[in-house]
Amino acid sequence: MSNLVEMVVAEFQEESKTTSRVLDRVPADKLGWRPHAESSSLGQLALHIASVPSGIAKRLAQAEAQIDPKAFTFKDPANAEEIRSAFEQGVRDANAFLSSLTEQRALAMWTLKAGDKTIVARPPIGVVRMILMNHLYHHRGQLSVYLRMLDVPVPSIYGPSADENPF
């Protein structure tokens, strides 16, 4: 494994701990709550966050992946355990994929297509940064706002929150 890949693996492992803390705060009795009619529900958003690592790892394991844009819908979890289980599996899948990367494979071209249309064409390490990590952080931030709106204590993410001080 190259230094580049090792740095990404270390970041993913550290950020997974933070994401786990945020997901742990999702109240099981509020999974259907949504801050606005156009927004995903709390449960849908949490399950999406939980599912991203596995979904990205599985797609990146192929040289080229196909998607159906119509299939990109946020699903309702049956319960909070489904969210936890999906995240734990996702972390395992992403760690296994990342640990298997050589520098050559990390920097080779990877393509995501919807039918004949190319959606993304870039090295897997770039997709890991862009979709697995940055996309995950974006939705984790949304989830922390949902928690605040529900008066659920927000955990420390990158320093103190109004509810938790790690220092």
Regions of the chain short of the pLDDT cut 70: 1-2
Over the stretch 32-56, which tens digit does the pLDDT of each residue have? 999 999 999 999 999 999 999 999 9
Over the stretch 15-38, which tens digit does the pLDDT of each residue have? 999 999 999 999 999 999 999 999
- Domains defined along the chain, listed by start: 3-149 (1.20.120.450)
Across the chain, mean pLDDT equals 95
In sequence order, which residues have a C-beta less than 8 Å from that of residue 94 and are 6 or more positions away?
Answer: 12, 16, 53, 54, 56, 57, 132
% of the chain beyond a pLDDT of 90: 90
Full-model pTM: 0.94
Q: What are phi and psi of 63, to 5 degrees?
A: -70, -30
DSSP 110: E
